[in-house]
Structure 1
């Protein structure tokens, strides 16, 4: 049986130890999300361009 790839992958992370900002990509849609956490609280939102459209990573960009 083939190993199933994870749907979401973390593409970048910035952490101070107490706070974390990371970007996650949905491999099915290519949409990028920002995750921010402080202590025991956190939230996620899609990353948007200047026109308000979601930032999408193509499969070709992911492999580079």
Structure 2
């Protein structure tokens, strides 16, 4: 069976939810938010404005 493309690295909240997802193929991290029937997804950036790219199995 093929592994899922996105993994949840962090999640908080139950109604207003924030999650950090990682794309297992590219290593790019995303911030996902949802509240009620609305939500959004954006790439996660570091303090220099560069994409956060780290695979889920890499050390912090």
TM-score by shorter chain over 0.5: yes
Please, what TM-score do these two structures have when normalized by structure 2?
0.88
Where structure 2 has 5 or more consecutive residues not aligned to the other structure, the ranges are: none
Q: Which has the higher helix share?
A: 1
Q: CA RMSD for the aligned pairs? A: 1.8
Whose radius of gyration is greater, 1 or 2? 1
Q: Aligned residue pairs: how many?
A: 60
Please, what TM-score do these two structures have when normalized by structure 1?
0.83
Counterpart selection for 1:40 from 16, 26, 37: 37
Between the two structures, name the one with larger relative contact order (CA 8 Å, sep ≥ 6): 2
